[in-house]
Amino acid sequence: MSFKSDIEIAREANKKPIQEIGAKLGITSDDLLPYGHDKAKVSQDFINSVQGRENGKLILVTAINPTPAGEGKTTTTVGLGDGLNAIGKKAAICIREASLGPCFGMKGGAAGGGYAQVVPMEEMNLHFTGDFHAITSAHNLLSAMIDNHIYWGNELEIDIRRVVWRRVLDMNDRALRQITASLGGVANGFPREAGFDITVASEVMACLCLANDLTDLQKRLGDIIVAYRRDRSPVYCRDLKADGAMTVLLKDAMQPNIVQTLENNPAFVHGGPFANIAHGCNSVIATTTALKLADYVVTEAGFGADLGAEKFMNIKCRKAGIAPDCVVLVATVRAMKMNGGVAKADLGPENVQAVQDGCPNLGRHIGNVKSFGVPVVVAINHFVSDTDAEVQAVKDYVESQGAEAILCKHWASGSDGIKELATRVAEIADSGVSQFAPLYRDDMPLFDKIETIAKRIYRADEVLADQKIRDQLRAWEDQGFDHLPICMAKTQYSFSTDPNLRGAPTGHGVPVREVRLSAGAGFIVVICGEIMTMPGLPRTPSAEQIMLNDAGEVEGLF
Amino acid sequence: MSFKSDIEIAREANKKPIQEIGAKLGITSDDLLPYGHDKAKVSQDFINSVQGRENGKLILVTAINPTPAGEGKTTTTVGLGDGLNAIGKKAAICIREASLGPCFGMKGGAAGGGYAQVVPMEEMNLHFTGDFHAITSAHNLLSAMIDNHIYWGNELEIDIRRVVWRRVLDMNDRALRQITASLGGVANGFPREAGFDITVASEVMACLCLANDLTDLQKRLGDIIVAYRRDRSPVYCRDLKADGAMTVLLKDAMQPNIVQTLENNPAFVHGGPFANIAHGCNSVIATTTALKLADYVVTEAGFGADLGAEKFMNIKCRKAGIAPDCVVLVATVRAMKMNGGVAKADLGPENVQAVQDGCPNLGRHIGNVKSFGVPVVVAINHFVSDTDAEVQAVKDYVESQGAEAILCKHWASGSDGIKELATRVAEIADSGVSQFAPLYRDDMPLFDKIETIAKRIYRADEVLADQKIRDQLRAWEDQGFDHLPICMAKTQYSFSTDPNLRGAPTGHGVPVREVRLSAGAGFIVVICGEIMTMPGLPRTPSAEQIMLNDAGEVEGLF
């Protein structure tokens, strides 16, 4: 038995003009800003015009802790959107844009797989509509204005040792992680330590993804802290008068992009904040716009539910005033086996015991999601190697946890393979049983917020933090940042901070290494363990195999 | 008397859908890749389909040495295109794209002015269709792959002291001119000196602008020399296997952009190589495509005729196999006065003597252009402060040089103000009098090529170059680069290398500071005097005033 690759399937797609896709949601050609024939932005004027409408139902797709076996969260998001449309519902999906840098390293993009994909795949993995380039430009304009300000006299008295605003590129380039800039003499400024992050890690990205509109965006950009003075007082982006020009650079990027699934259903693909040092969800403006246009909106959040769903609920929903009506938790038999201790190379043969051993990871995520007051359904994303007994083992376990699991074959069959899940999800969303509440209140002390996440989501015994970190949190509270939510940065591979601790660990502590204030985005980043904000390329980067073939098609990108 | 600003005029433009503009040149909607409603790319398939057609007439707009008074070269290019259409000719214009970085410093873009503009002005000065971002990405992918290769064992034995490939950003950021990269320990690579240029200075930009198609582009990219080994042997982009992925990143950028003038005539805006370290003309593919679609194509080249026209003839025309049928030399009364020794603050009152004193600068350009075998017409770009006597002085002088000068009022009146020039230019182009030949043969020794330009165009007595530079040129000849043309890099403000030496200096020497091989672009850069490949921002950058107004329009960009 042989399968077509994702790219082969994508190339065979029978794409419709993007105007036809927009029309499904009532967007006229005039309100679509086309980028080629299969991509468009939805105009801000149109978005403004639909604000009075009722919201559709919001469905969050999240997952167990990721394993090298793959879970197919985006694939399931796309499949579920197609499935809902197939059973006669008016549904749209909302996913994140792909980062360019990693495409040249190891992985392709985030457009789904099999017969549950969003197209045009190549463009989405390359420049798409230029949003990330705009973010890179806006970010680096601010960087240039900081050093330029220092160069011309430093009226704001910036301490050049305390410039916290780095530069960004959408490229995996480890050589830029740490640099000394402004070398070469008087004409080039004052030498200082600096560095680059990848664009998705930019606070500008987080601001864009959380902003309601351009006015809100400019306010958030102005609020960004770029440096400190010798007396430790902060210097804001606004002090450098960079917020206006940055907003101008971002005015097109702020408009959500619309493309289509293989089954010609509308998909919003907009924003892509790093899921560790930011909140890892697509943009608020895309989600809230989709909710005005569709009866059901299926979206996803980065990493497993301990990180992605937690931040979706506590940051995105809180900030945007939205709430999920149903949560779909994606699991695979293979990932259960890995959580049960099987190595990736040994995933082939049937092993019901290993599936059962891995299920507690799934169980804990089910409980966590429920703790937000939200109904949950488990989607078993079917792999061809799964046996009936293995699938049944997952179903039995989920039932024992007071939930239900539905086998989905959208990867192989598109919407036909996921109608049962779509039907059930629509029922739950329509039932109004969801009683969403965030995990902690705005007015809880910052350290208590961290403890709440660590104990109730990670099931840790304690949070380990130096006095210096506790003092820093208290200082921010005094400065008026006490109401901010927490953005946790920890490994996605485990509930704990040890990536090798699979399953459902208990008794662990959560060591906090560092805290960072993202005053523009509006959250406090709590860093537990290593955090990489500029990836490197592998020994043999995939870029070496990426090229145009004789037909002018892109090879090797995926 | 009060005038509307360029941006006020641009905002009042009665733009037509880009499909209507394309239709004027026989491009169907299917062959246009729209970017919004007023910008599009012309598909490569369509370009391939018209290759068998006859070429239209090519008209080059160039100018005297630029002065702070402004000459209006782009304005005249746009106006002449509109003028030709107004007298019933099928004409298109071809100009360069604007660089984003300088927009946040001092100057706006390059979209013309008054009633001779190309729109949409804001988009053209911001991200436009993303071409420059694609060039930035392709360039920096190669940079990352170089350091990544060194990191993983340096099989190619790159001498890290001799990496000549820098990084780029489309930003004025002096702090990045010279840096030390790869600091911070083993995981970040081998520390070495590095730096950033502005994107328009990238050899990738020059390659894109000179390539005939994607195949040619990939070959040129592969030919780029990125570093040398300890034995001084070159390491090519191709050795790092980066050329394929870079071409993939540039596949959309390679397709020319089409927009419209205020009078709804088609304008190709594509490519923007730096006019000093590259050849400063719009892309070959845009010009050659326009020549297949229009009967008259009006294009321009950067800086004055000593640099811009010389490189247009000796590099672009030579490489692309095209030739101008007529050259328009733009002059202004104000610039003549400045060449005659008047300071900018004193340009107000009538001063016929100063005009006459400055005219020899114009005269020399006339002679230079003629030396290529090409007919020349002087366009006097009218300013409201010009007096009749001053204009007559220019006309009389030009006549004494065996040429003709025509007063043009396109800035104030659009095509109505430039019909006389359009009529005359069309006559000359149709007459077939042009007998174009480049200034030097491919097989002339490299140093002799430099001397030919210095003596015949700059009218210098000699070229001053160290033995080291002469040896380097000879070494390149031995390595097979003897056939390459020369790309001069010198001040645009004077025929000499001294920017303060206006008029028509003689008796000067041309000191060559450095020579660089651009093996991908296919020329040898000869640097005479200071050359700045990464600008800085001024004390009060215009970014501080750039913002969205209450109507959502961009303020302060121009």
pLDDT band for position A66 (50/70/90)? confident
Contact across the interface for B249 and A127, Cβ inside 8 Å: yes
How do residues B217-248 score in pLDDT, each as one tens digit?
999 999 999 999 999 999 999 999 999 999 99
Strand A257-261 to A266-269 pairing: antiparallel
Taking CB atoms and an 8 Å cutoff, what residues of chain A touch B134? 127
Residues making up the binding site of A for ATP: 67-74
* Contacting residues of A for B187, CB less than 8 Å apart: 174, 536
Residue of B186, B198, B199, B546 to mutate for A, most A C-beta atoms under 10 A: B546
Over residues A496-523, the mean pLDDT reads 93
- pLDDT at B347 exceeding the cut of 70: yes
Is B70 annotated to bind ligand? yes
In the prediction, which pLDDT does B246 show? 98
* Candidates A38, A136, A173, partner chain B, best to mutate (most B CBs within 10 A): A173
Which positions ≥6 away from A185 have C-beta within 8 Å?
none
Mean pLDDT of B32-60: 97
Higher-scoring residue by pLDDT: A555, A470:
A470
Partners of B266 in the β-ladder: B260
Partner-chain residue, chosen from A144, A174, A546, that has the shortest CB–CB distance to B248: A546
B230 catalytically annotated: no
Backbone angles phi, psi at A148, to 5 degrees: -65, -40
Average pLDDT over residues B371-387: 96
CA-nearest of B526, B525, B443, B461 to B203 is B525
Q: Which of B41, B57, B96, B167 is catalytic?
A: B96
Q: Is the pLDDT score of B1 beyond 60?
A: no
**Residues 6+ away with beta carbon under 8 Å from B46:** B27, B28, B31
Q: Is B152 annotated in the active site?
A: no
Is B247 marked as a binding-site residue? Answer: no
Q: What is the pLDDT of residues B410-434, one digit of tens each?
A: 999 999 999 999 999 999 999 999 9
Q: How many CA atoms lie within 13 A of A508 on its CB side?
A: 21
Q: How far apart are CA A541 and CA B241, in angstroms?
A: 10
Q: What is the pLDDT of residues B112-131, one digit of tens each?
A: 999 999 999 889 999 999 99
Share of chain A above pLDDT 70, in %: 99
Length in residues, chain A: 558
Question: Across residues A469-496, what is the average pLDDT?
Answer: 95
Asked if B141 lies within 8 A of A171 by C-beta distance, the reply is yes
Pick from A258, A539, A546 the residue to mutate for testing the B interface (most B CBs within 10 Å).
Answer: A546
Q: CA of A155: which chain B residue's CA is closest?
A: B539
Instruction: Write out pLDDT tens, residues B47-81.
Output: 999 999 999 999 999 999 988 877 899 999 999 99
Mean pLDDT value across residues B448-476: 96
Residue A350 has pLDDT above 90, yes or no: yes
Q: Enumerate residues 6+ apart whose C-beta is below 8 A from A176.
A: A167, A169, A195, A196, A534, B167, B181
**Rounded to whole angstroms, what are the CA distances from B254 to A180, A346, B132?**
35, 47, 11
Q: Is B74 annotated as a binding residue?
A: yes
Q: Using a CB-CB distance cutoff of 8 angstroms, which residues of chain B are in contact with residue A245?
A: 104, 543-544, 546-547, 556
pLDDT band at B3; cut points 50, 70, 90: confident
Rounded to a whole number of angstroms, the distance from the CA of A434 to the nearest CA of chain B is 38
Closest residue in A to B35 (Cα–Cα): A35
> Is cis: bond before B34, omega within 30 of 0?
no
CB contact under 8 A, B546 and A251: no
Beta carbons of A174 and B194 less than 8 Å apart? no
Catalytic residues of A: 73, 75, 96, 107, 275, 303, 383, 411
Work out the mean pLDDT of chain A and round it to a whole number. Answer: 95
Q: Which of B526, B521, B525, B517 is nearest to B480 (CA)?
A: B517
User: For position A44, what pLDDT does the model report?
Assistant: 94
pLDDT digits (tens, 9 = 90+) for B139-183: 999 999 999 999 999 999 999 999 999 999 999 999 999 999 999
Which pLDDT score is estimated for A177?
A: 98
- Whether residue B73 is annotated as binding a ligand: the answer is yes
Backbone angles phi, psi at B445, to 5 degrees: -55, 150
User: DSSP H helical segments within B41-169, as ranges?
Assistant: 44-49, 73-86, 100-103, 121-125, 131-151
How far apart CA A224 and CA A520 sit, in angstroms, is 4
Check if B411 is active-site.
yes
Q: Which residues of A are annotated as a binding site?
A: 67-74
* B75 flagged as catalytic: yes
Hey, are the CB atoms on A170 and B137 less than 8 Å from each other?
yes
Q: Searching chain A, which residue's CA lies closest to the CA of residue B101?
A: A141
Q: Which of B418, B397, B141 is nearest to B261 (CA)?
A: B418
B514 alpha-carbon distance from chain centroid: 22
Under the banding of pLDDT at 50, 70 and 90, the label for residue A5 is confident
First to last CA, chain A: 22
Nearest to A454 by CA among A467, A443, A440, A441: A440
Query: Is B107 a residue of the active site?
Result: yes
Where does the pLDDT of residue B512 fall: very low under 50, low under 70, confident under 90, or very high at 90 and above? very high
Contact A145 B537 (CB under 8 A): yes
Residues of A in contact with B170 (CB under 8 A): 137
Q: How near does any CA of chain A get to the CA of B469, in Å? A: 24
- Ramachandran quadrant class, B394 (left: phi over 0; alpha: psi -120 to 50; beta: rest): alpha
Contact A177 B184 (CB under 8 A): yes
In whole angstroms, what is the distance from residue B37 CA to residue A516 CA? 42
> What's the gap between Cα A173 and its chain centre?
21
Give the residue-averaged pLDDT of B435-453.
97
DSSP state of A54: P
Structure tokens at B324: 């101008």
pLDDT at B179 (0 to 100): 98
Local confidence band at A454 (pLDDT 50, 70, 90 cut-offs): very high
> Taking 70 as the threshold, does the pLDDT of residue B108 lie above it?
no
Q: Is A163 helix (H, G, I), strand (E, B) or coil?
A: strand
Query: Do A537 and B144 count as a contact with CB atoms less than 8 A apart?
Result: yes
Domains plus CATH for chain B?
Answer: 55-98+260-431 (3.40.50.300), 132-249 (3.30.1510.10), 446-528 (3.10.410.10)
Nearest CA in chain B to A249: B126
Query: What's A303's DSSP letter?
Result: S
Give how far B250 is from chain A: nearest CA, Å: 10
B383 assigned to active site = yes
Lowest mean pLDDT among B56-70, B432-446, B470-484: B56-70
B67 is in an annotated binding site: yes
At B256-270, the pLDDT tens digits run 999 999 999 999 999
pLDDT in tens, A40-57: 999 999 999 999 999 999
Give the strand pairing for A257-261 and A116-119: antiparallel
> Do residues B86 and B351 make contact, with C-beta atoms less than 8 angstroms apart?
no
Q: Do B245 and A104 touch (CB under 8 A)?
A: yes
Contacts of B44 in chain A (CB under 8 A): 552
pLDDT tens for residues A84-135? 999 999 999 999 999 998 889 886 566 899 999 999 988 999 999 999 999 9
Task: Look at residue A1 and tell me whether its pLDDT is greater than 50.
Answer: no
Per the CB < 8 A criterion, the answer to whether A205 and A284 are in contact is: no
CB A227 within 8 A of CB A235: yes
CB pair distance less than 8 Å for B547 and A171: no
A207-254 pLDDT per residue, tens: 999 999 999 999 999 999 999 999 999 999 999 999 999 999 999 999
Measured between CA atoms, how close is A184 to chain B, in angstroms? 6
**E strands, B275-401, in order:** 296-300, 326-331, 376-381
Percentage of chain B modeled with pLDDT above 90: 87
Asked whether the beta carbons of B395 and B380 are under 8 A apart, the reply is yes
Closest CA to B291 of B317, B253, B330, B310: B317
Q: Are B480 and B528 in contact (CB under 8 A)?
A: no
pTM: 0.97
Residue B107 has pLDDT above 70, yes or no: no
Distance from CA of A66 to the nearest CA of B (A): 25
ipTM of the complex: 0.96
The answer to whether B547 contacts A245, with C-beta atoms less than 8 Å apart, is: yes
Question: What phi, psi does B197 have (nearest 5°)?
Answer: -110, 170
Contact check, Cβ <8 Å, A147/B175: yes
Rounded mean pLDDT of A475-484?
96
Q: How confident is the model at residue A59 (pLDDT cuts 50, 70, 90)?
A: very high
pLDDT over threshold 70, residue A259? yes
B391 to each of B61, B353, B538, how far by Cα in Å? 20, 12, 35
Residue B480 class from Cβ within 10 Å (0-12 exposed, 13-18 middle, 19+ buried)?
exposed
Distance CA B507, CA A92 (A): 73
Contacts of residues B246-249 at CB distance under 8 Å and 24 or more positions apart, as own/partner, are B246/B138, B246/B141, B246/B142, B246/B204, B246/B218, B246/B221, B247/A547, B247/A548, B247/B214, B247/B217, B247/B218, B247/B221, B248/A126, B248/A546, B248/A547, B248/A548, B248/A554, B248/A557, B249/A126, B249/A127, B249/B134, B249/B137, B249/B138, B249/B141
Share of chain A above pLDDT 90, in %: 87
In chain B, residues with a C-beta closer than 8 Å to the C-beta of A18 are none
